[in-house]
Amino acid sequence: MPVTVKTFTSTNEAAAALSSDRSARYLGGGTLVMRALNEGDISISTVIRASDQAMTRIVTSGARIVLGAGVTFARILAERDLAFLHAPARSIGGPAVRNMGTVGGNLFAPVPYGDFTVAMLALDAVVSVQGGLGGREIGIEEFLQSRDRQTGVLVLAISFAKPGSADAFRYRKIARIKPKGGAVITLAAHLPVNGSRIVGARVALGSMAPTPIRARAAERALEGRPLDTSTINAAAAAAVEGTSPGDNALASAWYRREIVGVHLRRLLSGQE
Ligand SMILES: Cc1cc2nc3c(=O)[nH]c(=O)nc-3n(C[C@H](O)[C@H](O)[C@H](O)COP(=O)(O)OP(=O)(O)OC[C@H]3O[C@@H](n4cnc5c(N)ncnc54)[C@H](O)[C@@H]3O)c2cc1C
């Protein structure tokens, strides 16, 4: 079946084209879209691209960091100001995937993918989207919860407040095949501290549900407390609450439930 490729210079036009055609798919880096096309996915008959430079913009100068949806993981790895995001960016695929794959495409990547999105969820990011009727900003958690209904919407950018200190943001991907295997689970935590107590704890998990999720019970165990052994133990014990992992070739749901607390304990206590 023929596939039409439409390239627009403006994101408005690309969004209008995307929202008016159910068989259209936006092409970010194409690491997943091209694989689907090559495998003969007949649900895609139009591929939409936007060459607008806003899609590949990185802003690190203000209090909020903005990543255009078309920013690749290789570009993040080249930005010194984004050093705290190098671990999630480096954990994705091999060099070829990091050169092509984008932060926008990662929002839509199914399990076991979506590692960078786990980091974005822990940082409480906001997703800027453009639909047929205009633009809006949507919290990443809400975006992920309604991800199936977001087809036809163009993601323009992701923004979030820079963590206050290098130690406040932590990330870990558990994989069997290194360096480029899919995730057994992925964990990210943002732990801002006021005095000696955590205020505004965010813990995000990948491969523990159909989309990345917040570990709310673990967050409650951390909130308002110092990051000591008893707090870490309470958060680790609560990590599995509210999760619904699946079985796949990388691990069973049972195994994921067994290990999520172990790895959260290691992440919080800074162990390798
Ligand atoms: C060999 C291999 C290894 C991989 N390893 C990992 C890994 O370790 N971790 C991981 O997280 N992922 C991994 N991936 C998955 C993928 O490469 C990444 O998730 C990447 O971020 C997807 O981005 P993309 O721009 O290539 O997406 P694309 O393939 O271009 O698009 C994916 C989906 O997102 C939609 N989309 C993309 N950009 C936008 C936008 N701006 N607005 C609206 N919709 C959009 C597309 O329409 C499509 O539905 C791997 C893929 C491959 C092929």
Summarised one tens digit per residue, pLDDT across range 95-132 is 999 999 999 999 999 999 999 999 999 999 999 999 87
Residue nearest to atom 34 of ligand 1 (CA): 105
- Residue 5 Cα to ligand 1 midpoint, Å, equals 18
* Separation between Cα atoms, residue 257 and residue 67, nearest integer Å: 32
| Ligand 1 pocket at CB < 6 A | 25-33, 35, 69, 92-93, 97, 100-102, 104-106, 108-109, 113-116, 154-155, 182
Average confidence (pLDDT) over 148-173 = 93
Q: What is the pLDDT of residues 244-264, one digit of tens each?
A: 999 999 999 999 999 999 999
Given a cut of 80, is residue 238 above it in pLDDT? yes
- In terms of Cα–Cα distance, which of 148, 146, 141, 82 is closest to 117? 141
Contacts 24+ apart (CB under 8 A), 256-260: 256/184, 256/185, 256/207, 256/208, 259/174, 259/184, 259/185, 260/185, 260/187, 260/205, 260/208
Residue corresponding to tokens 């195994």: 255
- Out of 92, 111, 178, 187, mutate this one to test ligand 1's pocket (max ligand atoms within 8 Å of CB): namely 92
Residue nearest to atom 2 of ligand 1 (CA): 93
Given a cut of 80, is residue 49 above it in pLDDT? yes
Model confidence at 180, in pLDDT bands (50, 70, 90)?
A: confident
Residue nearest to atom 5 of ligand 1 (CA): 93
Residue nearest to atom 35 of ligand 1 (CA): 105
Q: Describe the chain by its helix, strand, coil percentages, rounded to 5.
A: 35, 25, 40
Task: Please report the pLDDT score of residue 110 as a whole number.
Answer: 95
Phi/psi of residue 22, nearest 5 degrees? -65, -20
Across the chain, what does the average pLDDT equal? 95
Show the tokens assigned to 35. 């694989």
- In terms of Cα–Cα distance, which of 168, 161, 166 is closest to 62? 161
The three-class DSSP label of residue 131 is: strand
Q: What is the pLDDT of residues 60-106, one digit of tens each?
A: 998 899 999 999 999 999 999 999 999 999 999 999 999 999 999 99
Percent of the chain whose pLDDT exceeds 90:
90
- Residue 97 Cα to ligand 1 midpoint, Å, equals 9
- Residue 33 Cα to ligand 1 midpoint, Å, equals 8
Residue corresponding to tokens 């919080």: 268
Please state the atom number of ligand 1 nearest to the C-alpha of residue 94. 3
Show the tokens assigned to 182. 């899919």
Model confidence at 149, in pLDDT bands (50, 70, 90)?
A: confident
Q: Which residues contact 221 (CB under 8 A, 6 or more apart)?
A: 231, 234, 235, 237, 238
Task: Please report the pLDDT score of residue 101 as a whole number.
Answer: 98
* Separation between Cα atoms, residue 114 and residue 103, nearest integer Å: 9
Q: What is the pLDDT of residues 25-39, one digit of tens each?
A: 999 999 999 999 999
Residue nearest to atom 13 of ligand 1 (CA): 113
- Residue 60 Cα to ligand 1 midpoint, Å, equals 23
Task: Please report the pLDDT score of residue 15 as a whole number.
Answer: 95
Model confidence at 138, in pLDDT bands (50, 70, 90)?
A: very high
Task: Please report the pLDDT score of residue 203 as a whole number.
Answer: 98
- Residue 110 Cα to ligand 1 midpoint, Å, equals 9
